[in-house]
Amino acid sequence: MASSSTKLAAALAVLALWTALAATTATAYPAESCATQSKYFINCLRRGFGPRCCAMVENPKCFCVVEQEAEIRCVPGRSCPSRGVAKVVKVAELHLSCMKDLKCKRA
């Protein structure tokens, strides 16, 4: 039977391995550019997921790249972001919480 100190050493070794693996996984994939994140966001809106699309953008500053007046055309066969909305809607008209009170620098 293994002693408690051997079990503790084994548990610490496993914990160290998990920590090292988590660190490598996090650094192996750098964050997407704001242009890419905003493209994911717009594509998500086109599929009719509305407020859930806010999670597609990791860095809130990337919402500044999204054009508020951009038109969202729903994907054929999918519903628009909400019932009763036309098939074409502007991003600003969706009134998404992640797009409110943005502090964007304009050149």
* pLDDT tens, residue by residue, 24-75: 555 556 778 999 999 999 888 888 888 899 998 998 888 888 888 888 877 6
Residues 58, 83: Cα–Cα separation, whole Å = 28
Mean pLDDT of the 80-94 span? 69
How would residue 86 be classed by pLDDT, with cut points 50, 70 and 90? low
Q: Domain locations in the chain?
A: 34-99
pTM for the model: 0.61
Residues 57, 41: Cα–Cα separation, whole Å = 7
Residues 11, 4: Cα–Cα separation, whole Å = 10
Query: 20: helix, coil or strand?
Result: helix
75 alpha carbon, distance to own chain's centre: 20
Residues 16, 22: Cα–Cα separation, whole Å = 10
